Amino acid sequence: MERIDGNVIETMVDRGLRLLTRTYQASTEHRGGWYHRLDSPNPGPSATASGLAGFRVHGHSFEHETACLRFLRHRQIASADRRLDGGWAVNTSFGQPVIEATGLVTRLLVRCGLVLAAEGPDVKRASEWIHANQNDDGGWGPLAAQDSRVWLTAMATRAVATVDPRSAALPAAVAWLLNARDPTTGAWGEVDRQPPSVTHTAYALTALVESGVGNENRAAAEAIDAAYDWLGLAFDPGVVHDDRARMESYNVVGVAPDGRPFTWQSTIWHPGACPSCCRRWCDNLERSGSTWSPRPWRPCERHNPPRDAGRVPTAPPRSPYGVSRRSSTRWRTHERTCRCVRAASSLRCPGTRQSSRAAPISRSLPSGS
């Protein structure tokens, strides 16, 4: 069996980093960064932290790294109000710090080893902002007293666990995520107990695995196993984006520190479901030494279809806490398998048991997201 070609991955990484280099936007006082629309001249904190992490995670230097750190420090809010101090506002939140930016920036600064950077922002204050804006139910909305949401709670959980794996905020956050599952499938949707999506389930699982809850709580480990089972049944490796969860929008309503009411519509564009799922499986396979591994799809038998009318079984994936206990098997149509060969190139569905002749996953895969 073929290995994943690390040279192809490196080529794609280099193309992405060249794009970021070309689209870097300098601002005033030796600061700069990116906005999520790369043609915008007004950088934002989330995109700037993500762009900076792209270079750091892949071991590439970036000549404007210090300017990006200065920008993030400049945009970090300073206030006597602990629910404002230390957070980041996005360009469209009217100066209100939100978890959409603060959670992402905080996690990436720690992930990239920039906590003590001389020109960087204050990660301790950022972490305190996240804690101060946790809802009483254990989850997070955009800011305190807003309805808790799955994506935002998972984002904040990842940030908190990255800064301090023993944080007092984690147990309540994990409990909220576990209680927010769709009771029928055991997976996650946009808000608590909503029908699930591949995108939200992959992201919630990422947060729970990174929190380490499954190492200490058997019930949580079993819930994670069940969600992996659902993800293995719902994930289609021939589709990059999850059209049911390409973005989510919601209103944010509150009162500013000066007493004026504010309302805005927040919109989060989600990354592709296929890369998120592959990253989730590959990361766990690397950590656990699992006997499950991604491998190439078998060649399309267009001229010699199998006796079962072209159906190819794939087994549910293994979670970090053990082989799935479910015996269900997903059946893919032969036609879909053909499309997967073209769309996913050499990757087999990450749920297929590795044969004794299958090559292990290449160690050149980047581990970060």
- C-alpha to C-alpha distance for 188 and 66, rounded to whole angstroms: 38
**What's the confidence (pLDDT) of residue 277?**
67
Alpha helices in the chain (DSSP H): 6-23, 45-57, 65-75, 99-111, 123-132, 150-163, 170-179, 198-211, 218-234, 273-288, 334-344
Average pLDDT for 136-155: 96
DSSP 195-234: PP-HHHHHHHHHHHHHHTGGGT-HHHHHHHHHHHHHHHHH
Report pLDDT digits (tens) over 31-48: 999 999 999 999 999 999
What share of the chain has pLDDT > 90, as a percent? 54
Are the C-beta atoms of residues 58 and 94 closer than 8 Å to each other?
no
- Pick from 134, 133, 110: nearest CA to 49: 110
Contacts 24+ apart (CB under 8 A), 14-19: 16/54, 17/54, 17/55, 17/58, 17/60
1 Cβ neighbours under 8 A, 6+ residues apart: 295, 296, 355, 357, 358, 359
Query: Tens digit of pLDDT for each residue in 316-330?
Result: 445 666 644 443 333
Highest mean pLDDT among 4-13, 43-52, 215-224: 43-52
Find the mean pLDDT for residues 118-137. Answer: 96
- Mean pLDDT rounded to a whole number for the chain: 78
CA 87 to mean position of chain CA atoms: 20
pLDDT of 204 > 60? The answer is yes
The predicted pLDDT at position 355 comes to 34
Given a cut of 50, is residue 171 above it in pLDDT? Answer: yes
Domains of the chain: 6-344 (1.50.10)
Q: For position 273, what pLDDT does the model report?
A: 62
Q: What's the pLDDT score for residue 235?
A: 81
Candidate from 91-100, 117-126, 173-182, 247-256 with smallest mean pLDDT: 247-256
268 bridge partner residues:
248
pLDDT digits (tens, 9 = 90+) for 230-287: 988 888 877 777 777 888 989 998 887 678 888 888 888 887 666 666 665 565 544 4
Contact between 228 and 252 under an 8 Å Cβ cutoff? The reply is: no
Q: Are 121 and 130 in contact (CB under 8 A)?
A: no
Cα 335 to chain centroid distance, Å, stands at: 30
Residue whose C-alpha is closest to residue 318's, from 231, 247, 190, 258: 231
Neighbours of 57 (CB within 10 A): 16
Looking at per-residue pLDDT, the higher value among 188 and 277 belongs to 188
What pLDDT, in 10s, does the model give residues 326-365? 433 333 333 333 333 233 333 333 333 333 333 332 323 3
